[in-house]
Structures are given as structure tokens and as C-alpha cells.
Chain A
Amino acid sequence: MRDEHKLKARIRALSDGAATGLAILSTVLVVAPLVAIFVYLVYKGASSLNLAFFIEVPKPVGESGGGMANAIVGSAILLGIGSLIGVPVGISGGIFLAEFGRGTKLANAVRFTADVLNGVPSIVMGIAVYSLVVVPQGHFSAFSGGVALGIMMIPTVCRTTEEMLLMVPNAVREAALALGVPNWRSVLAITVRTASPGIITGCMLAFARVAGETAPLIFTAFGNVGRNMRLDEPIAALPLQIYVYALSPYDDWHRLAWAGSLVLIVLIVLAVSLVRYVTSRGVLKGAS
């Protein structure tokens, strides 16, 4: 009888140890390769990056050198259009969720739809925008690419704005209303302003995320080997160029692809760190 108890206790202790070991092992198994991938990307990118990358356009096959200036400018234009569409709509949607719709059925439905829209594959966004914008227009264009990116920004911006606004204490709103400030001014000048560091970094995060989106651009922005500033013509984009170069057989193009991915990674690290920094202090502490 005693032995049986002892044995049971041993087994329990052993399984406890085994479970702990497995949890630690899986963490190591996950974190180590992920960190390795990250370091590898940074290393490869850093060793391929030079000034020419930022100021030259791609050279024809066979010539070495060249850069991705056209893709960087193209990405900037696409992201500019995207932000013009995604940021105002997203922030307003977030204001509605946090300030006007709290607890209502409509707000819950909007929140749910935003989450679901966030999960729609980007390639589906791409073909939807293709048939919405590219087909009526008759050709691929920078504008259609911007629309696709803008639509993809909306749910992220909307949800972070809401979360940041919810962190603003109610006392601040009440103080504004008690002074007779109209509601719309209290929302814009007090609540949104208090939460603005969080909202801005949230927008940056959405910006960094769509900066790396490739699938929605294949059939909208399409890509372009030369410089282009016109919105109604196909335009190059950094992730698109990375995709094309990665699958090409030329070492020089591979080098450019690595350098391009480093640029995107730096953008993302900046955005993620900023969000963490902002949400670790002041009233916004603990948000997101």
C-alpha cells in the first residue's frame, strides 16, 4: 500500500518534470530557429546593402550593380495613397467603436467585421480590387495598388484606435463635458489627443504591415522596371520586386532581394518597438 503511494507520487513528479521539460524544449525549439531566421535575414541584408541600392534603378540582366530606387519610390507612393484611404477611415471607425457605439449591437457587429476582414487573405483583396478598379480603368495602376493597401489598413487602424481610446480614463471625458465643451470637440481635442501617441504608432504598425504586402499588388500595381511617378500607370513596389528577384536565377538580383527585405524588416522593427514603447508608459499603459 505504502509502495503504491510512493510509486504514484514518483510518477506524478516525473510527469510534472517531463511536462516542464517539454514546455521549455518547445520554447527553445521555436525561439531559437526564429531568432536564427531573423539574424540571418539581417546579416544577409546588411551585407548586400549599399548606397546604390537607394539611388539607382535596376540594371539589365548581366550587368552588376543597380538598386531599387524605383521600388522604394513606388512603395512610398503606394503607401501614401493607402494611408490617405486607410488612416482617416480607420481612425473614424475606431472613434465610433470607442466613443459612440460602446456596447451597442452595431459596434459589436463592426468590431467583428473588422476582425474578420483582417483575416481575409491578401490575395483575395488583390483580385477584388482588380475587378473593382483595374478592370473599369482598363490597365494596372499605382492608384489601384494604393486602394488595395488602404483597404487592408482599415481594420488594423480601426481596432488599435479603439483599444487606445478605451485606455483614456472616463474622468477626462467627463471633465471636458462638465466645462460645456461640445461632444465632438471633446472627442477630437481631448480624448483622441490624449490617446494620440498610441493611435499614431498604431497607424505606423498598420503602415509597416502593409508595406510588406505582396499578394494584393501583383494584379494592381503590377510592378515596373523603370521609374514611374504617375498614378495611372503600373508602378514598382519593394515587396513585389523582392518576390520577382528571389525567383530569378541571378545572384545580383538575389542580393537586391536580401537588401530590400532588410529595409522592410527595419521598418517593421521600428514600428513594433514604437508601439511597445508608447504602450508601456502614461495613460496608454497596458493597451494593445
Chain B
Amino acid sequence: MRKYLLARGNSALADRGFHWLMVLCALTIFGIVVLIAFELVVRSKLAWGKFGFDFFFKAFTDPYTNLPMYWDPVNGHFSALPFLYGTLVSSFLALLLAVPLAIGVAVFLTEMCPRALRGPLAFITELLAAIPSVIYGLWAVFVLVPLLREHVNPWLTKLLGWTGFFGDSNPTGLGFVAAGIILAIMILPIVSSLTREVMTAVPHSQREAVLALGATRWEMISMGVLRNARIGIVGAVILGLGRALGETMAVTMVIGNSPEIHQSLLENGSSMASVIANEFAEASGDLHLSALMELGLALFIVTIIVNAFARLLVWAVTRGAPSSAH
């Protein structure tokens, strides 16, 4: 009897201990996020104190040429404008290219694709989503950029040069267009697989109801599926945006890395992530380092908001439905 009680007591203790150990590990995830935020805030204080909100909104003026100037580590002038511009332009270019294609792929995979093809295509998507950024960058440097330089960019200039977005002053092939294309390739798998997940979550009765009214397949897809899934699809797109905003290596390798703002998309630029990757290790002085930290903090906050928002949207649609894709 005594032995029995003792054993029970022990196991209750062990149970509770185990439970709390697991809780502790789960809580470290909170801890990590808080710690990252804390470190970034502390280290960016210097730049924040010196520039305040102007850091993100105001350019400096070059005293000799009277031209706007943004990023001058030597003289201690720091403005994040060209990096905000570069990040936004390259990301939106990527969305512009990737979203229609991703939705097309998702529609094909969920509604039209023969069963035998679905598995291999899903496998390829998963594989491509897992390929490291630096390898996409390597491919872009040796294949995409020469292709743009030799063929695509001259053609774009000739065809659309009059809009002012495709000037021909940059002979390198690097720039926003190259960054946008490689970003589009990189976010396609995630956007399309999430869209697919959301579309699969739409109940079959919706499709059947629309078909029963005599709709064609496309009408069934647009009215029965896409309309029901639209919130989730917006979530998938925003999640893709989140990826694109923070993508570092591939962009750093092809965007050209100059802290300037140009209207022409064929010009060299720089993004928030790429300037950190380029300058952080050899930052000249505390203010420079602190300015880069502040860029990192901004990136952190923006991606957290974007991701949280996107997750909420995707959850709103797939909640309760069996998940079939990751």
C-alpha cells in the first residue's frame, strides 16, 4: 500500500515537472521574440536619438551640389529613404509578377489537374521553397543578370523607355528589375501553396451548388471557390510580401547596392536587408552601426505586423478545415 502511494506521488511530481519543462520550452519562443526586439531597440537608440522620425522620411542636402543625399557614413549622414524605396519597389515588382501566376497555378492544381500530376507538382513546389536564398542569388548572378543585360533590358528600354521607368543608363543588368524577378521566383512557391491550401478548404458543397445552377467550370471557380477563398488568398499574398520584404541574400547579389533613388527600374538600388548585409560587418563607427540596427528594427516590426496579419487572414479561412498542404 505504502509503496503504491509513493509511486503515485512520484509520478505526479514527475508529471508536473515534465509539464512545466515543456511549458518553459514553449515560452522560450516568446522569450526569443522579446529578446530580439529588446536588443534591436537598445542598439538603435543612438541613431533614433539623433535623427528621430527624419531617419525614415527626410533626405539630406549635399552642401556642394545641392542635390539630395541619403547615406553618407563618412560624414555621419543617415537617411533610410533609398532603402525603404528599394525594398518597396522590389517587393511590389515581385508581387506584380508572382501573384497572378501563383493564383493560376493554384487554380490549376486544385480544380483542373489530373490526380497523377498533383503529387509531383506539389513536391517540386516544396523543394523550390526550401532552396536557399544564396543559391537563387548565385543562379541570378550567372544566368538571370546576363540575360537581362543582353536581351530583356534593351528591349524594355526600346518598348517602354518613354514611361521613364525603363531608362538605359545602367549597363550592368543589375537593379530593381533583376531583384524583382528573383524575388518573384522565390515567393511563388509559398504564395501558390498557401493559395492552394485556402482553396482546398472551400467546402465541396459550394462548388456543387454553383455547378448545379448550370455554371461552367470557370464560373464555378470564380464564384464558388475564389470568392469564398478571397480573404485567405489576400493572406497568402501578404505572406509572400512578408517574405519578399525581408529577403536578403539573393537581393543583395543582384540589386546593385547603391543608396540612391531612381525612377528607372533598371537602375541600381539598395534594400533595407541588402544594406545591412553589405555594410554591417565593416560599419564605420557607432552611429553607422546604430543606423543599420534601426533599419533592422524597422524590418523586424514591419515583417512581424505583415506576417501576423497574413496568418490571421489565412487562419480565418482554413480554420476547421482539414489541411492538405503545408
Contact = CB atoms under 8 A, between A and B. Distances in A.
A182 B281 contact: no
B208 interface: no
Contact of A184 (B14, B30, B303): B14
Nearest to A88: B25
Contacts, number: 274
Given A19-B221, A27-B113, 18 more contacts: A23-B111, A30-B192, A31-B124, A34-B124, A101-B26, A110-B26, A110-B30, A114-B29, A115-B311, A119-B307, A120-B303, A130-B280, A184-B11, A212-B132, A218-B280, A239-B134, A239-B249, A257-B138
A89 B15 contact: no
A128 interface: yes
A12 B215 CA distance: 9
A265 B303 CA distance: 27
B67 interface: no
Nearest to A130: B280
A30 B300 CA distance: 30
B25 A268 contact: no
B22 A215 contact: no
Contact of A124 (B136, B188, B218, B303): B303
| Residues of A in contact with B, size category | 35 or more
B127 A112 contact: no
B277 to A, nearest CB: 6
A242 B142 CA distance: 13
A125 B36 contact: yes
A246 B132 contact: no
B139 interface: yes
Interface in B128-146: 128, 130-139, 141-143
Nearest to B184: A30
Interface in A207-226: 208-209, 211-215, 218-219, 222
B325 to A, nearest CB: 9
Interface in A103-138: 106-107, 109-110, 112-128, 130-132
A25 interface: yes
Contacts of B95: none
Given A127-B276, A215-B133, A12 B29 contact: no
A114 B32 CA distance: 10
B107 A132 contact: no
B316 interface: no
Contacts of B242: 119
Given A265-B131, A269-B127, A26 B100 contact: yes
Nearest to A85: B28
Interface stretch (A51-59, A60-68, A90-98, A193-201): A90-98
A251 to B, nearest CB: 11
Contacts of B15: 182-184
Interface stretch (A36-44, A76-84, A168-176): A36-44
A218 B277 contact: yes
Interface stretch (B53-61, B75-83, B162-170, B291-299): B291-299
A113 B29 contact: yes
Given A127-B276, A184-B14, A246-B141, A120 B40 contact: no
Contacts of A13: 216
A139 to B, nearest CB: 12
A71 to B, nearest CB: 12
A124 B218 CA distance: 43
14 contacts: A115-B307, A122-B246, A124-B40, A128-B39, A130-B280, A184-B11, A184-B17, A184-B18, A215-B277, A218-B277, A218-B281, A243-B249, A258-B138, A271-B130
B211 interface: no
A205 interface: yes
A8 to B, nearest CB: 11
A214 B35 CA distance: 21
A120 B304 contact: yes
B21 interface: yes
A261 interface: yes
A107 B83 CA distance: 37
Nearest to B24: A92
A272 interface: yes
A149 interface: no
Contacts of A219: 280-281
Interface string B23-58: 111111110110110011011000000000000000
Given A132-B39, A182-B11, A16 B253 contact: no
